Amino acid sequence: MSDAVQGTNRPLTAGDTVGILTPGGDAPGMNAAVRAAAKIALAQGLTVLGIRHGYKGLLDGDVAVLEHRDVDGIGRYGGTVLGSARELRFKTAAGHELAQRRVKELGLEGVLVIGGDGSLTGGRALSRLEAAGGGRLRVVGVPASIDNDVGCSSLAIGVDTAVNTIVAAIDKIADTARAHERTFIVEVMGRDCGYLAMVAGIASSADVILYRERGYSQPELLAQVEGVVRKAYRPPPAGAGKRMVLIVKAEGVSVPAEAIKEHLDLAVRPEVPGLETRVCVLGHLVRGGAPSAMDRLVAARLANVAIRAIASGQTGTMAAWRPPEGERSAWDPDVALFDLDVVLEETARVRDGTSLVSQKRVQLLSGVEAVLGL
């Protein structure tokens, strides 16, 4: 898709005001995106408003003018300096009306939405409302979610850091697992999407990786795990003679980690006396921490294209990183702009596992499992 897509309004000129917000779950690298967008906008003579706590701040008119000094150096910090919130009011008609009023009061000509599915859905609602009401607000998004479930973008801000955090955590768990000859089930975030478990599982040499897209029934899943654990502890040549087993489980897998543990203790202990299984849910640990260099760079480059798209008058789009298809932006050869409708439809498919992207991920994992004999 070219840089001149979807509802185009007049380009912004010096003195116009743009807002930046980071709604929904924070992701490492959001600050690098805020920094880049603010600096590029300021260089064009625009006034930049940081909107606090996502759509909540928009509804409450809770904003702060951002100058260069406000964003200097923030790219190295995790979380979001703007704050975030999951704002239910924004999903209602009254909320939409209030948001439009605030847009006028604040003199906003453009809004950059940095976030995941819910945040971008909010961005689309805002751009549609404005267009329908004769408003001219330009809304462009940047994908940011550790889950890597935003459609059309091969990577979202925060994913690389989250994968590295998980691998570092599993490496530590492996030390204690080996010392005690234990089996560990490590559950990682990702909501419905198994990407983090898949990628971090491979990188941390997990013995089993459990992800929802595989479509296992509970008995199938338990049988697979049981089979791998039995084989792992059996002495060679029948088994691998291992001293520990690592199971990485995606949050979206509906079988609880504790149920898997109980099953293993019951089913495998007769053959492996003393078998001990522990569960470790990494939870929000995975969302924090300083962003990796990769996340900082991807964030800055996506934000660059998005803010330039806003300044050129575009609305209702999202900047995507190295998409499988789509015409790349003239502002960056690795970034393409997609209609938010297209992005959100594909996001739904990634989340329910019907996307080609999800199927390719499953294929890749099955290939790895086949090589490892799992």
Residue 156 interacts with ligand F6P (CB under 6 A): yes or no: no
Give dist(CA 205, CA 56) in Å, integer: 42
Per DSSP, 291 falls in state: P
For residues 273-302, which are near ligand F6P according to CB under 6 A? 287
Q: What is the closest distance, in whole angstroms, from the C-beta atom of residue 117 to ligand F6P in the complex?
A: 8
Q: How far is CA 279 from the centre of its chain?
A: 24
Which span (7-15, 134-142, 189-197, 297-305) binds ligand F6P, by CB under 6 A?
A: 189-197
Choice from 33, 125, 129, 189 touching ligand F6P (CB under 6 A):
189
Alpha-carbon distances of 356 from 170, 322, 363, 369, rounded to whole Å: 29, 16, 10, 20
Alpha-carbon distances of 144 from 34, 64, 161, 300, 344, rounded to whole Å: 11, 22, 12, 12, 14
Residue 130 interacts with ligand F6P (CB under 6 A): yes or no: no
Q: What is the closest distance, in whole angstroms, from the C-beta atom of residue 23 to ligand F6P in the complex?
A: 11
Which neighbouring-strand residues pair with 49?
19, 65
Residue 208 interacts with ligand F6P (CB under 6 A): yes or no: no
Residue 145 interacts with ligand F6P (CB under 6 A): yes or no: yes
> Which residue, 145 or 314, has its beta carbon nearer to ligand F6P?
145
Instruction: Show the binding pattern over residues 56-95: x = contacts ligand F6P (CB under 6 A), - = does not.
Output: ------------------------------x---------
Query: Exposed, middle or buried, 196 (CB in 10 Å: 0-12/13-18/19+)?
Result: buried
**Alpha helix positions (H), 254-324:** 257-268, 293-311
Is 147 among the catalytic positions? yes
Choice from 147, 160, 207, 213 touching ligand F6P (CB under 6 A):
147
> Which residue, 190 or 316, has its beta carbon nearer to ligand F6P?
190
Tokens of 16: 């116009």
Residue of 3, 26, 117, 147 marked active site: 147
Tokens of 252: 């979206």
Contact 185, 277 (CB under 8 A): yes
> Which residue, 86 or 128, has its beta carbon nearer to ligand F6P?
86
Binding site for ligand F6P (CB under 6 A): 25, 86, 116, 145-147, 189-191, 251, 287
Active site residues: 147
